[in-house]
Amino acid sequence: MMEQYIEIKTANPDSLLFYRMGDFYEMFFQDAEVASRTLGIALTKRGKHLGEDIPMCGVPVERADDYLQRLIAAGHRVAVCEQTEDPKEARKRGAKSVVRRDVVRLVTPGTLTEDALLEPRRANLLAALVRGRAEDGGFAFGLASVDVSTGAFSVGEVAPAGLGAALARLDAAEVLVPEQLVEELAGALGETRAAVTPVGRDLSDPARAEARLAGHFGVATTEAFGSLSRPELAAAAAIVGYLERTQLASRPPLQAPVRESRGSVMEIDAATRANLELVRTLSGEREGSLLDAVDRCVTAGGSRLLATRIAGPLLEPAAIAQRHDAVAALIEAPELRRAIRRTLGETPDLARAAQRIALGRGGPRDLAAIRDALDAAHALGLRLAALDEAPAELEGIARALADADHALALDLRRTLADELPLLKRDGGFVRAGCDAELDATRALRDESRKVIAQLQAAYSEATDVRTLRIKHNNVLGYFIEVPQSHGERLLKPPHAEAFVHRQTMAGAMRFTTTELGDLERRIGEAADTALGMELALFERLSARVSESWESSRACAEALAALDVAAGLAEVAVDCAHVRPHVDDGLDFRLEGARHPVVEAALKRDGKPFVPNDVGLSAPDGAAGLIQLVTGPNMGGKSTYLRQAALCAVLAQAGAFVPATSARIGVVDRLYSRVGAADDLARGRSTFMVEMVETAAILNTAGPRSLVVLDEIGRGTATFDGLSIAWAAIEHLHEVNRCRALFATHFHELTALAKRLPRLRNATVRVAEWKGEVVFLHEVAPGVADRSYGVQVAKLAGLPASVVRRARAVLDELEAADRASPVERMIDDLPLFAATRAKPQGVAEPDPALEALEALEALDPDALTPREALEALYRLKALKSGG
C-alpha cells in the first residue's frame, strides 16, 4: 500500500495527497505533518519506512469538504486520490492485493465548485495571464478568467500599464502565470489576493493555443468565438489546459469565451479600490463596503453580478442608460417589484447547482434547486411579459426566462420526492409512484424491515431479554445486541446452539443467527436493487440537465440581472437615490450628494447625514475643474472626496446615486489617494507609498479621469510637502487637465486660485461656541484659515498640559508664518518655471531632431556675427538638454 502511495505522491509533488482508505482520507510523511499543523488534528504513525516511523493523519470522507476549505484557505493544493475498483475485485487477484487508486481531481483555489468551499455571494475566478504580440504590433497581455462554479468565461487584451488595474478588477482566487514572467510581474500580482500558480510553456505557448481551445469546445476553428488576438487565445487556452489537468475525468462545461474589448470599463487601480472600499473594506470584510451598502439582492447570483458591475463600471453611455431604464421601470412599478423580489427570494442558485450536476459532483438537492429555479424563471417570465413598454434590458431578461427548459422542470418535479437526502448514495430521493418497478422493490425492502421488527420481538420473548435489539452497521451487517449480563446466558444451553457469538464490547455482547443472516441477504438484495434503480434515474436526470446547460446558464444570468435591477430599485426608493444623467461630456455636478456607507451607518444610530454639492464642470466644457478643499480635521473632507468618487462608480455601474441630482460625463479612469499606510514588506514607508500612488496618478490621468487626492505631502517636512502638493496641483491643472478633488491642510495652496483659472477653493465649515469646535460637515466656497488640530487633540483626550502648550506653540508659529506670507511666491514664481511635463500620449521632443531642424533653418550668408553666436548657443542648449 505504501508503494502505491509513494508512486501516486511522486506524480503530484506540489499537492497534499488525500489518499482514500475506507471511510477516511489518509495523509503520510510530510503531507501528514503539514496537514496536522494546518488543521489542528492529531499526528500519529503507521508502519516504518527506511527504519523510521511513518507520520500519518486522516480526515473522515463525510467531513472532507470542511478540511479542504481550511487547507485551500491556507494556500495549499490538494490531490484527491480515490479507490477506483471494488475491494472484492482486488481480492480476486490475491489476498494481499492492493485496491487500485488514482487521483481523480486536483483541488486549487480557482477550481472549487462545492457549496461548502465557496462564498455564495462572491464569484470564484480562475484567471490566466499570457504576454504576446497585440493587434497593433506592440506587446500586450491576454487576460482570461473563468468561474468554474458557474462556467462563465471571458477574455480580453490588456496593455502592460493597465495590468494591475485589470487584475484588481477581477479579484481572482488563482492566477496562472508563465514561469518566466512570475518575477517580472511580482508587483502587479502583489496587488491582488490571488494565489499565483506558475505554468510551463506546454500551457502558455501561443502556438498550441488555437488547437487546444478549438478541441475543448469541439469546433473546427476558434473564429467561432470572434476575432481573438494571439495573447487572448493563449490565455484562454491556458485556462482550458489547466482545467483538463486539474479536473481530469470531470471536465466542467464552459461558456464560449466572451471577448471584453479594451477600454470597455472604468479603469480603477488596486490602491484606489482599496482606498474607496468598493467591494471590501481595508480589513478585508464585505460589511462596510460600498457593495454592502447598496446590495439588496435576494439571490446569491444577483449579489455576484452586482459585485462584478461595481468592480467594472461601464464607459458606454447607451449601455449605462439601459441599466438605468430597468431600475427606473421597477421603481415606477412597486407592486411588480415586490412580487419579483418575493419570487426571487425563494429561488436557489441555478448556475452553481447546474454546474455541480454537469460535473458529476451534485446530489438530489441540486436537482431540486434546478427544478425550483426553473419554476421561478417561468413565473417571472410571465410577469415581465405582461409589463407594458418594458425597457430593453427587462425585455432581454424576459426572453431569456421564457427560453428556460420548462419540460426539464416538470420532469424533475414528477421524479423527485418532497424530502431529499444530501447524498444520492443514501437513496430515497425518487417520489413514490414515479416508477412502478422501483415501488415494488421498495415494498419488498420495507416489508423486510417489518420482519426484522417481528424477529426482534420473537427473540426477545424466547430469551426473556426485554432489552434485546437487532441493529445494523457497515461492518457486521445485522446483529443481535444484548447487555453483557444477558449475553453470558446466551453463550450457554439452551440458547448456545441458536445464537452465534460475534463480538463482546464494554457492557454489551453481539450475536447472530442463521435466520437473521438469511433475512439480511434478502434485505440487502432488495435495498441494493432499489438504490441501483434510483441511481439510474439520477443519472438520467443529470444527463437532461447537462443537455440543457446552455439554456440554464442563460436563465441564471437573467435571474441575476433581474435581481440586481430590482435590488437597486429597492435601495433607490428606501435611500432616496436619484437617476444620474451620464453622457460623453466632461461635466461632473452633484447636488445634495451623500456617502452611501456613512449615511447608512448614521441612519442606524438615528443621526442625519449632511449632504453637499460637488461641482467640477468648467464653464467652457474644455476641461474639468479642480476643487481645493480645506478645513479642519474631523470636518468631513475625506468623506466629501470619497462620496464624489463613489457616485461616479454607482452611476456608471447602472445604479442610481445618493444625491438630489447628478450629471456625470463618463469617467474613464478613477484615482483615489486617501489615507496612508506602510508597506514594510516591500521596504516602503508611509510617505513612499503616498508618493508611488501619486506618481501613478500624475503619470497616467487624462481629461476624462476623476482624481481624488487627500493630504498629499503631509508625510514629510512641511516645506517639502507643500512644494510637492503645489507642483502636483499645477500638473493636474496644466498637464492632466482632469476633474479633481484635492483636500489639504496646506492653506497656502489656496492662493493658487489666483493664477490657475480652473482651480476653485472650497472649505468645510465649522463653528466655535464657548471655546469648543462644532463640525458642521458643510462644504462651501471659500478658504479655511486654520485646521483646528489642537481642538481635535483635546477631543481625543490629550493631557490638558499638552493641549495648553500646543496652543502656545501654535500661536508663535502662526505669528512667524504671517511675517513671511507665501503670496509673494505666487506672484514671483512662474508657473512651471522648469521644463514642463508633457501630457500623456504626447511624445517628448527629440533634441537631435530639433537641432537638425534648427540647422536647416539657418542661412549662414544672411547671419550677422552676433546672430551666428546666438544660434550656436541655442544648438549647445539643445545638446545639453538631450
Three-state DSSP string of 566-604: HHHHHHHHHHCCECCEEECCCCEEEEEECCHHHHHHHHH
Contact by Cβ (8 Å): 552, 405:
yes
pLDDT of residue 136: 66
Residues 6 and 125 in one domain: no
Please check whether residue 471 lies inside any domain of the structure: yes
With respect to residue 171, please indicate whether it lies within any of the assigned structural domains. yes
Is residue 277 assigned to a domain?
A: no
| 9 and 151 share one domain | no
138 is in an annotated binding site: no
C-alpha distance from residue 368 to each of 352, 375, 405, 411 (Å): 13, 11, 14, 11
Query: Known binder of ligand: residue 633?
Result: yes
CATH number of the domain where residue 722 is located = 3.40.50.300
Range of the domain at 390: 295-405+548-574
The number of angstroms, rounded, from the C-alpha of 331 to the middle of its chain's C-alpha atoms is: 29
Model-level pTM?
Answer: 0.83
- Cα–Cα dist 761/781, whole Å: 6
User: Both 72 and 138 in a single domain?
Assistant: no
Task: Verify that 661 and 803 share a domain, yes or no.
Answer: yes
Per-residue b/e over 764-793, b at no fewer than 16 CB within 10 Å?
bbbeeeeeebebebbbeeeebeebbebbbb
| 637 shares a domain with 780 | yes
* Cα–Cα separations (whole angstroms), residue 303 to 146, 293, 328, 698: 17, 12, 19, 34
pLDDT tens digits along 768-816: 776 677 778 889 998 876 666 767 667 667 787 777 777 777 677 667 6
Residue 30's CB is within 10 A of a number of other CB atoms, namely: 11
Same-domain status, 179 and 310: no
H helix count then E strand count, the chain: 31, 27
Domain presence at residue 678: yes
Point out the domain boundary residue: 83, 107, 131. Answer: 107
Residues of the chain with pLDDT under 70: 135-137, 675-685, 715, 717, 770-771, 785-788, 790, 792-793, 795-796, 810, 813-814, 816-854, 856-857, 861-862, 877-882
d(CA 648, CA 580): 9
Q: Does 636 appear as a known binding residue?
A: yes
How far, in Å, CA of 630 to CA of 782, rounded? 9
Q: Quote the pLDDT of residue 683.
A: 47
Q: Are both 728 and 634 inside the same structural domain?
A: yes
CA distance linking residue 154 with residue 172, whole number of Å: 13
Q: Tell me: do 570 and 697 sit in the same domain.
A: no
Q: Residues 480-489: contacts with CB within 8 Å, 24+ apart?
A: 480/510, 480/511, 480/512, 480/513, 480/516, 481/508, 481/509, 481/510, 481/511, 482/508, 482/509, 482/511, 483/507, 483/508, 483/509, 484/508, 484/509, 487/511, 489/463
Residue 430 lies in a domain: no
Distance CA(336)–CA(339), nearest Å, equals: 5
Instruction: Say how many domains are in the chain.
Output: 6
User: Are 650 and 766 part of one and the same domain?
Assistant: yes
Q: Quick one: 851 and 820 in the same domain? A: no
CATH number for the domain including 85? 3.40.1170.10
pLDDT score at 679: 44
Residue 141: phi and psi, rounded to 5, are -105, 130
Q: Does residue 834 form part of some domain?
A: no
Residues 173 and 58 in one domain: no
pLDDT of 619 reads 82
Name the burial class of residue 740, with classes exposed (0-12), middle (13-18) and buried (19+) by CB atoms within 10 angstroms of its CB: buried
Q: Give DSSP secondary structure letters for 473-494.
A: ETTTEEEEEEEHHHHHHHTSTT
- H-state helical runs in 124-259: 163-170, 186-190, 201-204, 206-217, 230-247
505 is in an annotated binding site: no
Please give the pLDDT value at position 865. 75
According to the annotation, is 797 in a ligand binding site?
no
Domain of residue 370, CATH code: 1.10.1420.10
**Euclidean distance between CA atoms 614 and 612, whole angstroms:** 7
632 is in an annotated binding site: yes
In a domain, 599, yes or no: no
In a domain, 180, yes or no: yes
Shared-domain flag, residues 782 and 808: yes
Q: What is the CATH number of the domain that holds 146?
A: 3.30.420.110
The pLDDT value given to residue 689: 79
